[in-house]
Amino acid sequence: MNQISFDFEDGRSRRGRPGENHNGGHRLFFALCPPAAVERQAASIADDYGKTFSLSAKPRLTTLHMTIIGIDDYEELPEDAVFAARQAGATVESAPIAITFDRIMSFRREGKARPLVLYGEGGLKPLTRLHVQLGVGMHNAGLRHNISRDFTPHMTLLYDRKTVPPARLDTPVSWTASEFLLIHSLLGKTEYRIIDRWPLLG
């Protein structure tokens, strides 16, 4: 495999590690997005749990996704990073992935609103392979690989300071992902832009 190298360490664009919250700026990440029927099911679950636990936040209906791997945060979105991310995305070989989230809970975050997430082990192995493939592709394209030993596939419904204890869903949230996306997030605006997409063909 040919290695494409870019110098992203000059300090002109990096904001911090993906996953940190910022007001303003740009984030790049790879993700899977659920179909409309799954979005409606997830919104209904979020609404039910919001009422049960008196949560003040509303579900993020227009931005529901499952992050595969974060790329980075930037003050200004650099074209070379987008190019490198596209190179990484093009290296992936994966069949469609059957995903099942059958549990819900709040992730812990000290001093911040906590993500209320759907999660589960349905599809964990192929999702982990996709996470690693993209991480290796990112490294070979000159980006940080960002591969995590603690990779936990999940879909964030909302953020709230109140905690929802772990529970099993009566009806799991399931779909088969047939593509993955490169997404540009405008931080602080809850606005996502799809830069590129690749089919999962097997």
How would residue 3 be classed by pLDDT, with cut points 50, 70 and 90? Answer: very low
Phi, psi of 176, rounded to the nearest 5 degrees: -110, 115
Q: Kindly state the average pLDDT of the residues 163-180.
A: 96
Helices (H) and strands (E) in the chain, counts: 3, 9
- pLDDT at position 173: 97
Helix (H, G, I), strand (E, B) or coil at 104: strand
- pLDDT at position 26: 94
Q: Kindly state the average pLDDT of the residues 12-25.
A: 49
How far is Cα 97 from Cα 195, in angstroms, rounded to an integer? Answer: 21
- pLDDT at position 111: 67
How far is CA 129 from each of CA 30, 70, 84, 171, 202, rounded to the nearest angstrom? 14, 15, 20, 26, 13
Tell me the average pLDDT of the chain. Answer: 87
Q: Kindly state the average pLDDT of the residues 14-27.
A: 58
In the chain, where does DSSP find H-type helix? 36-52, 79-89, 124-140
